[in-house]
Amino acid sequence: MVDVYIISIPIGSEKAVNNMNNTLLNKVDKQTILAHDVVLPEYIYEDNKINVWGLVPGRGINQPNVRQWQRFKPHDIVIFVPSKYNLIVTEILATTRNKDLANTLWGVDKNGQTWELIFFVKILGIIEKDKRSFLRELGYSEKDPLMGNRKITDKFFSKYPSIDTFLNLNLETVISPESFSDDIAKQTVETVLPGRLNKEERLTHLKDLADKALQDKSRDYIEVNGKRIKRKAILVAYVKERDNYTCRACGFTFKKKDGEFYVEVAHIKPLSQGGPDDPENMVALCPNCHKKLDKGDEAARNEVIEALKRNGVNI
């Protein structure tokens, strides 16, 4: 029988987001796994890489997370909740307990523990779903912080007989890695900004944070279903603020359900062509202009480029 678990991921810092990006969302190389004497079945690797996550054992002699982790078995489902609107649905492929590997991947927490209760997963989908409605489906209070990890309730299965049913009924809310990255970026930045800043102070503070982020050479991309997005949360937030949450090509924006205005952030010169991951090469665009710039033919791309030039963007 397949069990379903739910795990909340705190994303209150850039380091926490990088840990999630670099191991859960972006596959870890097979050689890194083997270097720590962890031997996995060959068939669970994809292109010699695999998605990884882990739990700390927990404090005290009972180490509360160990018992939970020991129940994990191949084909069980883990639904990660990293934000107010996103769920990462995964399937467990294998488990191992390895302190050295965990320390290499994530370091240690404030209590000196590392996430040594490791499990390897396959991402089945990223779903946009309001956390409050998801909590109701689970049979929990809307105010439940979902701390730690827990097995999913019978109430969930009364609505969704299987995880396939859950995924199929939520197909319309499957989101792209770009949208997921943008949402995580926004929430991360909000936790590091001082409160009660006016617009000018906020922009100045974000600029300082962006300058510091540019000096950090750590891996800063995510890869989901073969699609790679290279970006730092602070840079995305700064560009949106700098461009007033408005498409610099056509001037369009719209208000999301959380009250914020929506734009995406694009690289003017694509990363694949050597463009830098730097605010000077980044611009806020509406989804339509973003697709034209990234996916359009030469005429569509030039249309956006010329609009940006007319609106004062230095290209």
CATH number at residue 12: 3.10.590.10
Instruction: Looking at the structure, tell me whether residues 18 and 143 fall in a common domain.
Output: yes
Instruction: Looking at the structure, tell me whether residues 27 and 120 fall in a common domain.
Output: yes
Domain annotation covers residue 268: yes
Asked whether 189 and 208 are in contact (CB, 8 A), the reply is no
How far is Cα 67 from Cα 14, in angstroms, rounded to an integer? 30
Residue 79: the pLDDT is: 92
Domain annotation covers residue 315: no
How far is Cα 254 from Cα 98, in angstroms, rounded to an integer? 47
194 pLDDT exceeds 80? no
| Mean pLDDT value of segment 249-259 | 87
Is the backbone of residue 148 left (phi > 0), alpha (psi -120 to 50) or beta? Answer: left
The structural domain count of the chain equals 2
Structural domain for 137, as ranges:
4-173
Residue 72: the pLDDT is: 93
Instruction: Looking at the structure, tell me whether residues 120 and 185 fall in a common domain.
Output: no
pLDDT tens per residue across span 25-56: 888 999 999 999 999 999 999 989 999 999 99
Among 173, 199, 215, which residue terminates a domain?
Answer: 173
Which sign does the torsion angle of CA 244, 249, 252, 256 carry?
Answer: negative
Count the Cβ atoms, other than its own, within 10 Å of residue 206. Answer: 23
Residue 102: the pLDDT is: 97
pTM above 0.75, yes or no: no
Mean pLDDT computed over every residue of the chain: 84
Q: What is the percent of the chain with per-residue pLDDT over 70, rounded to a whole number? A: 86
Here the tokens at position 44 are 């669970």
More confident position, 50 or 86: 50
How far is Cα 260 from Cα 300, in angstroms, rounded to an integer? 28
Collapsed DSSP state (helix, strand, coil) of residue 58:
coil
pLDDT tier at 220, thresholds 50, 70, 90: low
Collapsed DSSP state (helix, strand, coil) of residue 181:
helix
Residue 176: the pLDDT is: 63
Sequence letter at residue 8? S
pLDDT tier at 93, thresholds 50, 70, 90: very high
